[in-house]
Chain A
Amino acid sequence: MDKDKLKKYANDLEFDMDESEYKTLMGEFDILLKQVELIENIEGISNYEPMDFPFPLESACLREDKVNMSLAREDALKNSKDVKDGCVKTPKVVA
C-alpha cells in the first residue's frame, strides 16, 4: 500500500494526516491485507450470501406515510456555529 493512495482516500473523506500517521497506517494495512487472505482462504466461502444484518428484520419495511418525529427549524439551527436569516451560513459556493 503506498502513501499517495492512502492520502487520496483521506482527502476524499475530507481530512488529512501527518507523515508519521500515514506510516502507522501503512503498517496496519500490511496486517489487514494478511488478515483478508485468512478470510479469502476459508473453504467454501463463495457459497455463502453476504450477511447484512443478524437476522431478517420483521419491522424493516416502509412505514406509513405519516409525519413522525421532526425538528423545528429553530432547534435544527441551535447547534450550527454560523446562522443567518434562519439558514446555516457557509462560505460562498458560487463565486
Chain B
Amino acid sequence: MIMGKNIDELRQELDEGVVNACDLFNSAMEASSKSQESVNAFVSIMDKCECSGGSSVLSGIPYALKDNFSTSGILTTGSSNILKDYVPVFDSTVYKKLKEAGAILIGKTVLDELAMGGSGLTGHTGIVRNPWDTTRISGGSSAGSAASVSLGIVPFSIGSDTGDSVRKPASLCGIVGFKPTYGRISRFGLFPFASSLDHVGIFARNVKDITYVTDVLKGYDELDMTSLPDEDIKYVDTLDKDIKEKKLFYIKEIVESVSTEENKEVIKIFKENIDKFRSEGVIVEEVSFDKKLLECLYPIYFIISCAEATSNNSNLTGFIFGSREQGNSPREVMFNTRTKGFSEMIKRRFITGSYILQRENQERLFLNAKRARRMIVEKMNLLFKEYDGLILPAGGIAPKINPDEETDRLGSDYLLLDNHLAIGNFGGYPSITFPMGYVSNMPVGINLTCPQREDASCLNIAFKLESVIGIKDVCAGGENIG
C-alpha cells in the first residue's frame, strides 16, 4: 500500500480517498516490524496512528525520525545506553512542524551512538544493515533513517548531519540526502553533537520530495540562536528553473585520489555523468585545490567535533535525566553512571576532546583546526563567486560489515573520496547527495554543494541533474532502476 511510493503518489491516493492516513500508517508499521530482523532500522515503532489533520502536502504521509530528536512522551534514546529510558517532555521544532503539517510519525530510527560515527554499527540496539546487501554497512550516523527510506517503508525521513551523516548514508543506501544551509532548519530539540557543525537533514527517494519537506521545516525559530531569518519563497516553486549555463566545478585532487578498482569504477560513472550534464548545457570545470589542505579535512573535523561533543554531553550526569547508577556520593553516582552508560567509542572521543581543550593544547590543536577550517571555507567561498556549485562523487560503495574489526576507530589513511563531504559542514553550505549509478550491484551517489543560503538553487540544480542521470524513486533491490 505504501511501499516505494513517493509523496506525490501518496498525496494523490489520499486526496482521491483511495487510502486514508491510518491505512498508510498501518502499512508502514507492518513493513517496519517485518524489516527489523534483517535491517534493524528502528529503535521504536509507533503503535498508534496519531493523525493531527493539517492541510499541507505532507498531511497523512508517514515518516521516520532519527532517535536524537526530542519527541514529547515518546522514548528518545540517542541510541545510547545512558538515555535508554529517556522520555522527553518537550518537542523538537522539527517534530512540532511535521505534526502541525499533518505528517505521521511511524518510528524513531537507530543512529550511531549520540550521532558520533559513520557506520550505523554503534547504536545500543544493534547494527543497522544496508537494505541493498545486509552484509554491508548502511553508513551513519543517520543509519536507520536512511535504511527506512531505502527499504521503501516511508517516502521521507529526518536525520542530522555533522560531518556527512545524512549525505553519506544516502549515497550508500541509494537515496537522496540533503542538508540545507546552517541555521535554515531549527535544531531546537536535536541532541547536540558539535554545535558549530550540526545540521538537520532530510532523506527521500527523489529531489522533489526532499524539497516538499524542506519547505515545511525551514524558517526562523526563536528557540534556536543559530536560526536564519525567513525566506519568503517556496523552494518547490523554483525547482523547474532552467539550469543551462550554470557553472559547476569538481576538485581534481579528490577525483584523482582513488586507488581501488571499485573506486575507479565510481569515478568512471561520475565522469560519464559529467559528460551528460555538459551535453545538457551545464558548464562543468576541473579545479585544483591544495592537496595538503584536503588531507586535513578529517583531522579538522575530528578535532573540532570531539572538543564540542565533550562539552555538549557534560549534562549526561544521571541526576536530572537518563540512566542512574548507585553511588555513595553525587560524584560517585555520576562516575558510575557515565562509566556504564557510554560505550568505549564515545569515551575515547570525549577523552580526545578533553585533551584538545586543555589550556596547554588549545592553541596547537583546537585553534589551529579552527584556523584551517577558515582557510578551507574562504577558499570555497572564493570559488563560489565563480561557480554555482561543487560536484563530486559522494564516496565509495558501502563496505562489508567486519565483526573482527572495530569500527569508528581513528584511522591513519587519508581517504579524500570518503571524507570531503565535511566541507559542507565547515562552511554551512547547502549540500545534497543523489544516486548516480551502481558499482558491484551497490548504489553510489553524487554530491552537489552550493554557496551559503543558496538552498533554492541547490535543489533546483539537483532536481534537473537527477532527471539527466535518470535514477529516482529507487528502493533497495533495484526496482525502478532507470
Identify B222's interface contact among A39, A41, A63, CB under 8 A. Answer: A63
**Given the complex, which residues of A lie within 8 Å of B225, measured CB to CB?**
57, 59-60
- Complex CA–CA separation, A14 to B337 (angstroms): 9
Q: Are B368 and A79 in contact (CB-based, < 8 A)?
A: no
Q: Are A53 and B320 in contact (CB-based, < 8 A)?
A: no
**Given the complex, which residues of B lie within 8 Å of A57, measured CB to CB?**
183, 225-226
Identify B196's interface contact among A46, A49, A53, A68, CB under 8 A. Answer: A53
C-beta contact mask, A11-28 vs B, less than 8 Å → 1, else 0? 111111100010011001
**Given the complex, which residues of A lie within 8 Å of B385, measured CB to CB?**
none
- Complex CA–CA separation, A82 to B412 (angstroms): 45
A52 within 8 A of B: yes
Identify A59's interface contact among B227, B293, B351, B410, CB under 8 A. Answer: B227
Q: Are A80 and B321 in contact (CB-based, < 8 A)?
A: yes
Q: Are A34 and B319 in contact (CB-based, < 8 A)?
A: no
B374 within 8 A of A: yes
Chain B interface residue count, CB cutoff 8 Å, equals: 81
Q: Are A50 and B374 in contact (CB-based, < 8 A)?
A: yes
**Given the complex, which residues of A lie within 8 Å of B329, measured CB to CB?**
91-93
**Given the complex, which residues of B lie within 8 Å of A75, measured CB to CB?**
89-90
Q: Are A59 and B182 in contact (CB-based, < 8 A)?
A: no
Least distance between B181 CB and chain A CB atoms (Å) = 8
B26 within 8 A of A: no
**Given the complex, which residues of A lie within 8 Å of B367, measured CB to CB?**
50
Q: Are A71 and B410 in contact (CB-based, < 8 A)?
A: no
Least distance between B430 CB and chain A CB atoms (Å) = 11
Q: Are A51 and B327 in contact (CB-based, < 8 A)?
A: no
Least distance between A84 CB and chain B CB atoms (Å) = 13
C-beta contact mask, A39-62 vs B, less than 8 Å → 1, else 0? 111111110111111110111100
- Complex CA–CA separation, A15 to B323 (angstroms): 14
With known contacts A35-B299, A42-B293, A59-B227, A15–B333 Cβ distance under 8 A: no
B330 within 8 A of A: yes
- Complex CA–CA separation, A53 to B377 (angstroms): 11
Q: Are A21 and B344 in contact (CB-based, < 8 A)?
A: yes
C-beta contact mask, A54-95 vs B, less than 8 Å → 1, else 0? 110111100100001101000110111110000010111100
